[in-house]
Structure 1
Amino acid sequence: MRAPERARLGLAVLAAAWLAGCAKPPRPAEGEDRADRWSGRLAVQVDDAAAQSFSAGFVLSGSAREGTLTLYNPLGNTLAELGWQPGRALLKTGGQLRESPSLHDLVRELTGTELPIEALFGWLHGQAVQASGWQADLSRLTDGRLVATRHTPAPQAVLRLVLER
Structure 2
Amino acid sequence: MFAADLQGGRRGLLAAGVAALLVTAGCAQLSGGVRPQGTDIWSGRMSLRIDSQPVQTFSALFELRGSPEAGELSLTSPIGSTLAQLHWSPGEALLKNGSEVRRYESVDALIEAATGAAIPVGALFGWLAGRDDRVPGWRPDLAQVANGRLQATRENPGPTADLRIVFERS
2:116 counterpart of 1:112 = yes
Spell out, residue by residue over 1:16-52, the C-alpha distance to the aligned partner (whole angstroms, 9 max, x if none): xxxxx9xx60468998568511000001100011100
CA RMSD for the aligned pairs? 2.3
The reply on whether 1:40 has 2:44 as its aligned counterpart is yes
**Contact 2:28/2:82 (CA < 8 Å) preserved in 1?**
no
Residue 25 of structure 1 corresponds to which residue in structure 2?
27
The answer for unaligned runs of 5 or more in structure 2 is 1-22
Q: Secondary structure at the match of 1:164?
A: strand
2:9 alignment counterpart = none
**Match runs of 1:80-95 below 5 Å:** 80-95=84-99
Q: Which residue of 2 aligns with 1:146?
A: 150
Deviations 1:44-88 (A, max 9, x none): 100011100121000000111100000000111110000000001
Cα deviations by residue, 1:107-159 (Å, 9 ceiling, x for unpaired):
12333321011111111111111011000001001110000000111100011
State the alpha-carbon separation in 2 of the partners of residues 47 and 136 from structure 1.
Answer: 17
Q: Which residue of 2 aligns with 1:137?
A: 141
Q: Which has the larger radius of gyration?
A: 1
* TM-score, normalisation: structure 1: 0.78
Amino acid at match of 1:69: L
In structure 2, what is the Cα distance between the partners aligned to 1:68 and 1:153? 26
TM-score (ref. length: structure 2): 0.76
Judge conservation of contact 1:122–1:129 (CA < 8 Å) in 2. yes
Structure 1: 5+ residue stretches without partners: 1-20
Aligned to 1:6: none
Call closer, same or farther: CA 1:93–1:109 in 2, change over 3 Å.
farther
Equivalent-residue separation in structure 1 for 2:105 and 2:64 (angstroms): 20
Identity %: 43
One of 146, 156, 159 as aligned partner of 1:155: 159
Q: Which residue of 1 aligns with 2:20?
A: none
With over 3 angstroms needed to count, the CA separation of the structure-2 counterparts of 1:35 and 1:102, relative to structure 1, is closer
Greater length-normalized contact order (CA 8 Å, ≥ 6 residues apart): 2
Q: CA deviation at 1:100?
A: 1.8
- Cα separation, 2, equivalents of 1:124 and 1:102: 20
Count of residues in Structure 1 that have an aligned counterpart in Structure 2: 143
Instruction: Answer whether contact 2:45 2:166 (CA < 8 A) is retained.
Output: yes
The alpha carbon displacement at 1:102 in A equals: 2.6
| In structure 1, C-alpha distance between the alignment counterparts of 2:99 and 2:34, rounded to whole Å | 31
Q: Give distance in 1, aligned partners of 2:70 and 2:59.
A: 23
2:56 is equivalent to residue 52 of structure 1: yes
